[in-house]
Structure 1
């Protein structure tokens, strides 16, 4: 009779996201605890034998975060909420205006721009298909880059 062991598996993308989140918490903790670069390297080396958090495995990151918790650090809850495409389009439009890249910054002008870019009449950005919204976002990013370059010129 053989004994079967259960092996937990996770996708690479989930593991990478978890690693990134934990590294972020480590760096937040370093700042919250007021550690200098030397203090940070000392603690990493004492706890894990590594001098960089990038070299830590899952257990090493857990050990560092547990140590930081004993010193009073509690990671901040993530309140990040990604932009919707509509919100990103509006945000980019405002940024372009802030950099002097627009003659008319009105919402009507934005809708007209998106209509020209997408090749379809747009009455509301919320109903814009994903592909057309992506095209508009890329066009707005290029406009923002041009506006920033033009602003830097003497």
Structure 2
């Protein structure tokens, strides 16, 4: 699939942030500020370790994926504790974060991606797990939960 080069993520996030200010969309604005802050932190780390510019698009996707996952975990805890108001706030933040993430792969698509990566790197034992995960990360960062994919890769290589 050719990605026609849309506006890069960084630009899209700051454009949306300015728009949220104009719209006085307080909740949206606070989530966008959190995203921006997380990216800036990573930029600072990257420069400290000698990178010329800030983090790459793939790093931003990883940051967004992590933020969405943390909020999904919190929402689950709140729901179990009967705090639906708090759970809803987490869900609202996830919705904003997900606007910047590519569509998440379904379970079937993830399984097919694992299969393709196994074939692509010629993996034939659990020792090749790192190679398979590397191939998946190169292609699907931000689109799949690698924590959940690990066991799938392990099953596939152990069978």
Same fold by TM-score greater than 0.5: no
Larger radius of gyration: 1
With structure 1 as the length reference, what TM-score do the two structures score?
Answer: 0.27
* TM-score, scaled relative to structure 2: 0.26
- Where is the helix percentage greater, Structure 1 or Structure 2? 2
